[in-house]
Amino acid sequence: MNHKFRILFITDSKKKSSGGVKQLLYNAEALKELGHKIYLSANKESFVANKKDIFEEVHFIDSKSKLKSGLSLKKFISEKDIDIVHTFHNGGHKIAFLAKLFGGKFKLFINRGVLKVPTNIFIYKSFMIDGFICNSYACKNSLKRIFVSDKKINIIFNCIKSVASDKNFNKDDNRFTVLYIGNSSKIKGFDIFNEIVKRVPTNLDMEFIALGVEKDKLSINVDERINLPGTVKNVSDYLEKAHLFLLTSRSESFPNSLLEAMAFGLGVVAHNVGAVNDLIKDGVNGFKINRLAVSEFVDKLIYLYNNRNLIKKMGHKNRLIVEKLNCKNKALKLLKVYSGDHYLDNFDVILENNCDDF
């Protein structure tokens, strides 16, 4: 692709560790490496606005007025001759829409990484939006519920920056480690993880670790077998030693923690929410659980505890998938969409291959 775009990413999020912010930065870095000029519009006090080494220039949103932000954004886009605007988070969508409503000349792409059906139908159904970029088929379906055209909905899975798929992990087979990654909020389902552990027989030699959970924010009695290190910087150290990853989120479009676990060759037992249905084939590279059935989680956990070779085969398959989900590949997919192509990510070819081949 010879044409070099001038691409503006927009977010109104002030968070440091949200999945959307991570993907915005991954996209920006990968597209910059491919020779495109990358700009940012964000809150002045946001984490992402401090990443100035990635961006040609940063435009600051007026946090008190979306109308003023839309007007100043339209001017910024015109001055910098920006041709692609890719928005993250609800406020970012609205500001970019206003900039185009005020006469801005650019292609507008809305990033979607949530399962909630949009309520601002006027914006989502507008001809001024050139396309949507969803990170799962479940996310796409939420747009179809308000009758957004199929032709406008693209699916590009999240990418992972550090791929550890070429490492040979030395996991201690004498100790079976089960990992949860999330936080204390109800939507992440630590209470489900806790209930699963309570039902695992105590005579099984398992270690349970829950990362990101702050004990003082919990209102439940935590099983004494669960280790709670809190929020840690060295997540990779825990992933490298773990055997099995449990995903107990109640609602999530594309859990970045799932990608991280797959990259480190873990087996996966996951609630079949969002991209779990796109990346996990039941019995091949993990197990999917319907309706957060605790008894099913426990059954699969014990089954894999007794079948370590199957976990290794599942982990190998997961690492093959993650190799394809690097950020350069995602950037190339984005460029196709920016250029007017319709793109639907799919890993059925990899998932259909039987694990016995490995």
Q: Tell me, what's the pLDDT at 164?
A: 55
The confidence band for 125, taking pLDDT boundaries of 50, 70 and 90, is: very high
Q: What is the pLDDT of residue 64?
A: 86
Check for a shared fold between 6-155 and 176-323: yes
What's the angle, vertex CA 334, arms to CA 276 and CA 284, rounded to 5? 25
Distance CA 87, CA 101 (A): 15
Residue 163: pLDDT band by 50, 70, 90 thresholds?
low
Provide mean pLDDT across the span 101-112: 97
CA distance 58 to 68: 16
Q: Indicate if the pLDDT at residue 57 is higher than 90.
A: yes
The average pLDDT across 136-147 equals 96
Bridge-partner residues for 181, per DSSP?
211
Ranges of each domain in the chain: 6-155, 176-323
Given this model, what pLDDT does residue 272 score?
A: 96
pLDDT confidence bin for 62, thresholds 50/70/90: confident
pLDDT tens digits along 251-297: 999 999 999 999 999 999 999 999 999 999 999 999 999 999 999 99
Name the CATH topology of 6-155.
Answer: Rossmann fold (3.40.50)
How does residue 63 score in pLDDT terms, banded at 50, 70 and 90?
confident
Tell me the mean pLDDT in the region 172-178: 85
Average pLDDT over residues 18-25: 90
How confident is the model at residue 349, as a pLDDT? 57
159: pLDDT strictly greater than 80: yes
State the pLDDT at residue 1.
Answer: 60
pLDDT for 43: 92
Fold of 176-323: Rossmann fold (3.40.50)
Give 2's pLDDT tier (boundaries 50, 70, 90): confident
The CA distance from 339 to 1, in Å, is 9
Q: Which two tokens stand for residue 170?
A: 């030395």
Structure tokens at 304: 């894999």
User: Angle, nearest 10°, between helix axes 19-33 and 327-338?
Assistant: 80
Which one is predicted more confidently, 146 or 348? 146
Half-sphere exposure of 109 (CA within 13 A, CB side): 24
